[in-house]
């Protein structure tokens, strides 16, 4: 992971008025983001069902963290990043709802919605095809089932189960009460167990 990080930017010339975050946190921020970006992407992909939108959401969340919170303490970055990411996902759902309504009103269907036959061709380069196929099937089933949950249940499940946040941390990330988190989480687990017991 260390060689994956971005080199620390050069120190600006003495006569240049530098207004950005202190350079020292940038290296730490780079390490932090390198550690969370993949999880963030998977979370966003499950929430949106679309890799391109997931990339946009993750990039936006990273930029917001760097621009607005680089000077905060490192221990604050994790909770802040979760909050920003979940907020961006919620925004995406709101925009998507409006877009879908407009599509219904105008009776249009995007060409992107058409099935791409290339996506159905199996990838033959896997080193252990049976194991990876099993993982892929389980992942596809889980992604699909989590993606069908209402957004708040989805967020509570991912933050509690995958990110390992406790109820209070999850409530802060979702910007709701702890009681709501408990309700959403409980409903999510119940629904997913019913659908996935045979797949996992």
Partner 1 sequence: MASENKFLQDAKRVLDAAESNLDAGTVARLRAARRQALEQGRRQPARARPGWLLPLGGFATAGIALAVAGLLWFSAPNGNFMQTGVGDIELLTAQENPDFFTELEFYEWLEGSENAV
Whether residue 65 contacts residue 77, with contact meaning beta carbons closer than 8 Å, is answered with yes
6 interacts with partner 1 by CB under 8 A: yes
Task: Enter the DSSP assignment of 21.
Answer: S
74 lines the binding site for partner 1 (CB under 8 A): no
Residue where the block lists tokens 């996902």: 89
Q: 3-state SS of 80-91? A: HHHHHHHHHHHH
The C-alpha atoms of residue 190 and residue 199 are separated, in whole angstroms, by: 15
Residues 100-159 that bind partner 1 (CB under 8 A): 132, 135-136, 138-139, 142-143, 158
- Binding to partner 1 (CB under 8 A) within 45-64 occurs at 51, 55, 58-59, 62-63
Q: Of 80, 167, 176, 196, which one interacts with partner 1 (CB under 8 A)? A: 196
Q: Please give the angle made by the CA atoms of 182, 136 and 117, to the nearest 5 degrees.
A: 115
Residues that bind partner 1 (CB under 8 A): 4, 6, 9, 19-21, 23, 26, 29-30, 33-34, 37-39, 41-42, 51, 55, 58-59, 62-63, 65-68, 70, 132, 135-136, 138-139, 142-143, 158, 161-162, 189, 192-193, 196-197, 200
């Amino acid at each position: 992971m260390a060689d994956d990080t971005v080199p620390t930017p050069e120190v600006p010339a003495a006569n240049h008025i530098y207004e950005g975050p202190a350079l020292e946190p940038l290296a730490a921020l780079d390490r932090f983001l390198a550690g969370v970006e993949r999880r963030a992407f998977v979370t966003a992909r499950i929430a949106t069902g679309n890799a391109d939108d997931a990339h946009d959401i993750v990039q936006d969340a990273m930029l917001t963290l760097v621009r607005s919170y680089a000077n905060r303490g490192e221990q604050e970055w994790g909770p802040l990043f979760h909050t920003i990411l979940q907020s961006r996902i919620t925004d995406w759902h709101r925009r998507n709802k409006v877009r879908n309504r407009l599509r219904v009103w105008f009776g249009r269907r995007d060409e992107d919605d058409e099935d791409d036959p290339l996506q159905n061709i199996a990838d033959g380069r896997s080193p252990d095809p049976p194991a990876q196929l099993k993982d892929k099937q389980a992942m596809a089933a889980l992604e699909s089932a989590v993606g069908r949950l209402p957004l708040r249940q989805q967020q509570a499940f991912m933050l509690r189960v995958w990110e390992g946040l406790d109820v209070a941390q999850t409530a802060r990330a979702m910007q709701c009460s702890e009681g709501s988190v408990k309700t959403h989480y409980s409903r999510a687990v119940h629904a997913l167990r019913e659908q996935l017991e045979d797949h996992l």
